[in-house]
Copies of this chain bind each other. A is one copy, B any other.
Amino acid sequence: MPSSSASRPPETRAVPAPKLAERYRGIRSFSERLCAPLETEDFVVQSMPDVSPTRWHLAHTTWFFETFVLSPAKESYSPFHPDFSYLFNSYYEQVGAQFPRPRRGLLTRPTVREVMAYRAHVDEQMSRVLDDPDRTSRFHTVIDTGLHHEQQHQELMLTDIKHVFSCNPLGPQYCPPPASTDQETTTMGWRAFDEGLREIGHAGTSFCYDNERPQHRVFVPAFEIATRLVTNGEFAEFIADDGYARPELWLSDGWHTVQRESWESPLYWERRADGWWHHTLFGRCPIAAAEPVCHLSYFEADAYARWVGARLPTEAEWETATNAAESLESANCVDDGRFHPRAAVVAQPDAITQMYGDVWEWTASPYTPYPGFEPLAGALGEYNGKFMCNQHVLRGGSCATSRTHIRASYRNFFPPAARWQFSGLRLARQP
């Protein structure tokens, strides 16, 4: 049998962000380019309840435009298929009933071909809206939201297919490995910040999600933050020091999770005779010591920080530091087509690096509303606000995030046991 070899990865250039119509076409087609390496069978499977089939992502993001733009924008518009609103609504209770999430992987129809036809149909209809300045301006915010929404799902498509492939003993590859991963681990420095009242959150008129508003003042005590992410090599020392077997290092819920799930390493790691290997989007390979550690739960990030005598930064600390850090331009984002974290390079000894891209950084902050938070009106108010419980904030984006999607005030959030995202950590400490 021809082995499950890697196809060419999608061509990836940074997408500039000019006119809305152009952005629409660029982002929509990028979703499809990300699917280029997949076989039809790959689009169908849901390997755990958190994962969605690729086909579902492609249809759901399309349903978003149909539901929130085309239907209200065009009186005569009738949905492409009467059952798609039920099938492809994720969690918008105010839009209507939803096909049960854990059963998404039971659907074999509509087929990939039919979903692509759905996308083409909606894109065609959207192009008419986007050709009409009045309607474009009336729906500008919603369309913008829909594009950011699609970019979020592009990241999920990658993390979900990575999980699907991890279940297969044949070890399918999504893309070829990066040219080289050998690299020295750079020294981790610390950067100090004084206490002060900080402005946190998004200001101005550019796009952001409702959960980034309102900008508000937070008193942030003095703190120090690490100049780079924690690496695979450093995390392997934690394992070697019995980190997964010492309850005093863990939160109580984390310890129970470790026991229940028999965790002994990050997700996708595998102990072999010659050391730690891991599953990546280019197949199974030895870990590279200098690369940022990835696929950690909050519990593991927190336990590592405790072991090393430090802690995770709060989101206010993270945002404070980011505003003093290197630019987004040099970050390792999905646009670069690496699909994998990259070792830090030292520019200057105290430069804060890797704030954007590579891996999402778990913060110490539970996901809560900012003072005065107002969710959007209507169904889109369910986008963020209703998840503000039992989740922690992650910051900075990952190697699966678009450069045009991330920003300093961006708040991602996942439950503390989740680890199928590209999630890692940066340390902080008291001065």
Contact = CB atoms under 8 A, between A and B. Distances in A.
B47 A44 contact: no
A15 interface: no
Interface string A383-402: 00011111000000000000
A117 interface: yes
Interface in A223-275: 247-248, 250-255
Contacts of A365: 368
Interface stretch (A102-110, A201-209, A340-348): A102-110
A117 to B, nearest CB: 6
Contacts of A40: 40-41, 111-112
A253 B387 CA distance: 7
Interface stretch (A80-88, A139-147, A150-158, A182-190): A80-88
Contacts of A11: none
Interface of A: 1-2, 4, 39-45, 47, 55, 80-81, 83, 86-87, 91, 93-94, 99, 103, 105-112, 114, 117-118, 164-165, 167-170, 172, 197, 216-219, 221, 247-248, 250-255, 298-299, 302, 364-366, 368-369, 371-372, 382, 386-390, 416, 430
A109 B44 contact: no
B168 A251 contact: no
8 contacts: A1-B117, A1-B118, A44-B45, A45-B106, A47-B106, A94-B247, A108-B164, A197-B219
Nearest to A221: B371
Contact of A389 (B45, B93, B109, B416): B416
A110 B172 CA distance: 9
A147 to B, nearest CB: 24
Contacts of A248: 93-94, 382
In the complex this chain forms, how many copies of it are found? 4
Contact of A168 (B47, B109, B167, B255): B109
A132 to B, nearest CB: 26
A385 to B, nearest CB: 8
A366 B247 CA distance: 22
Contact of A388 (B251, B368, B389): B251
Contacts of A298: 389
A105 B105 contact: yes
Contacts of A369: 364
A172 B109 contact: yes
Nearest to A4: B109
B372 A167 contact: no
Contacts of A168: 106-109
A44 B42 CA distance: 9
A170 B83 contact: yes
Contacts of A251: 386-389
A17 to B, nearest CB: 31
Nearest to A311: B369
Contacts of A43: 41
